[in-house]
Amino acid sequence: MARQEYAQARGTAHKQLLSQAKNHIQSLYQKNLNKGREAETKIKALSARREQELERVLVRHLVENRLQEIHGIGPQQKTAILQQVFRGKLSDLQHASKTVPGITPKIQYEINRWVAQNQKALPDLINQDFPGKAVVDGKYYPEIESLEWLAHTLESENRPLQEKLQRIDAELTWLNQITPNTFLKSLRRPEQVNPELDRYLYGVFAEWEPVPEWFREIVSFSGKSPETLLTVTATSTKARPVNEVISKPNADSQPSPPHSTLRKAVELAIIIGAITGMCFFCFWLVLSVDVTRTTVSPAAPTFVATNTRRPSATPSVTATLRILTTAQPDPTATYTPSATQTNSPTVTPTDTATVTAVPLPQVRVIISAANLRAGPDASQPVVGIARAGDLLAIIDAEDDGAWLLVQTGDGLRAWIGSTVVEPVNEETN
């Protein structure tokens, strides 16, 4: 039973879809990461080779064009040094006196000092223009720039993939908390049920809710088409609450999945709510009648009359009973002579005050449990739960009527989907 409930829960299907997508995304992310690292390695190697070749070209330029700056070096010594001593490095010149005739110790000292000065200045001189530099740059820069563009592109592709992996991990963190044992424990020990179990029954999104765009994008990496995705999440992953009392699903916009046990509980809650509403209405009706009777009771009529004495054998008194609600000018009652005396005055009520209670617009929750959210949107955080049969007073509503701002019996104000409630009185419409 527990394993069947676990297999049928939407959370299980969503967990499988997200896990499959995660494997594909991780594979693509790692592939891009490896290509990017390979490109960076090639860039470093090419840059090092460029630096070495630039240094050789620069050193040859210095030896060929500035060696005669050294005192005592003439054209013959220069030619001999280039042919017999120089092998591409400035340090080759430090032993020129051993090979080239005419290089005295004093001249060798000047050569060594010139070599030291130029070796120290090489990093700055390489960044300056010199003959042959453009040729070297033209040899290496196109490939370096191509690799840099590739590395940048791969990094840009991996950035959204990394965000998707983070979103998947966040969802799988709570989905992985639920296992078949969780369903089994909820049946054996209802008081210790995992609070995430209700949420797991509906998965990442409920059956009646549209597929979130982020979910569609992530699952598409596993090769699932939108049509297949909708079929999987709408038909093959319907969930039934594990326990009628424990696992009451939450909702925002539609009734919960049609299962016999849950349906009976909802219908019973609606019937009880209807009976309670009728009792309340009858009580209010009786109270209204009592208030009306008290208001028009003849025990305390208000007579407004002016008694004018006239010679008459038997006066007949006619009085008019009025319920005075505002200040009135002093009216007069006319006494008409009559042959016989009338002991009981004729009372003609001209106005009756009726106390009428104006009920506030209210709605009643028609599903087992409905989400109360901080704002008029399904992505807003849940701030409370309204149960089936709860009466909620309407404070405000969206223009399209999809969301209602309501107030619960304990004073909490929150937003609720209009399709999970029904009107209680005509004022609600």
Lowest mean pLDDT among 151-155, 211-215, 305-309, 317-321: 317-321
Half-sphere exposure of 414 (CA within 13 A, CB side): 22
Q: What is the pLDDT of residues 300-358, one digit of tens each?
A: 444 334 444 443 333 333 333 333 333 444 444 444 444 444 444 444 444 444 445 55
Taking residues 28-54, what's their average pLDDT? 96
pLDDT of residue 331: 44
Taking alpha carbons only, the member of 282, 295, 369, 364 closest to residue 325 is 295
Taking residues 121-129, what's their average pLDDT? 93
Taking 50 as the threshold, does the pLDDT of residue 379 lie above it?
Answer: yes
Per the rule left: phi > 0, alpha: psi between -120 and 50, beta: everything else, 389 is left
Would the pTM of this model clear 0.75, i.e. be above it?
Answer: no
Q: Yes or no: say if 305 and 319 are a contact pair by the CB < 8 Å rule.
A: yes
Q: How far apart are CA 6 and CA 12, in angstroms?
A: 7
And the tokens for 281? 């209405």
Local confidence band at 297 (pLDDT 50, 70, 90 cut-offs): very low
> Rounded mean pLDDT of the chain?
77
Q: What is the pLDDT of residues 43-97, one digit of tens each?
A: 999 999 999 999 999 999 999 999 888 888 888 889 999 999 999 999 999 988 8
| Packing angle, helices 133-175 and 10-66, rounded to 10 | 160
Domain assignments of the chain as residue spans, ordered by start: 1-245, 362-428
Spelled out in words, what is the top-level CATH class assigned to the domain 362-428? mainly beta
Lowest mean pLDDT among 146-155, 265-274, 385-394: 265-274
Taking 90 as the threshold, does the pLDDT of residue 35 lie above it?
Answer: yes
And the tokens for 91? 């340090």
pLDDT of residue 394: 93
pLDDT of residue 274: 77
